[in-house]
Amino acid sequence: MSVEYPDMAITKSAKKAIRSSARKRIFNLRRKEALRDSTKAFTKALAGKDKAEAQKLLSSAYAAIDKAKKRGVIKPNTAARKKSRLARALSRVS
C-alpha cells in the first residue's frame, strides 16, 4: 500500500523520506504531548497547594523533559530552562 503525494517527491528515496518523516513526526508529537501533560499535572498540583503530590509529579515531568531532550524534540537549553522553572515553582509553594 503506497500513499501518493502529487507534485511532491519524484525519486524513490524522496518518497521514503516523506514516509519516514511522517513516522518521526508522530513520535515527536507524542513526546511533546507527554511533556505538556506532565507539566500541566505538576502545575495543577502546585495550584492546589499539594506539595507532596507536586514533588511526585516533578520527577515524572523531569523524565518527560529528559526524554524529549534526548530524542531532539526540544533543545538542551530549553530542557534545562523548563526543569529550572519547575523546580523554582515548587520551592516557592509554602
Per-residue pLDDT of the chain (94 residues; tens, 9 = 90+): 555 555 678 899 999 999 999 999 999 999 999 999 999 999 999 999 888 999 999 999 999 999 999 999 999 999 999 999 999 999 998 6
Read off the C-alpha cell for 89.
515553582
Which residue type occupies 18? Answer: I
Is 52 in contact with 36 (CB distance < 8 Å)?
no
pLDDT at 94: 64
Q: What is the pTM of this model?
A: 0.81
Q: Tell me the domains of the chain and their CATH numbers.
A: 30-92 (1.20.58.110)
pLDDT at 83: 97
DSSP class of residue 3 equals: -
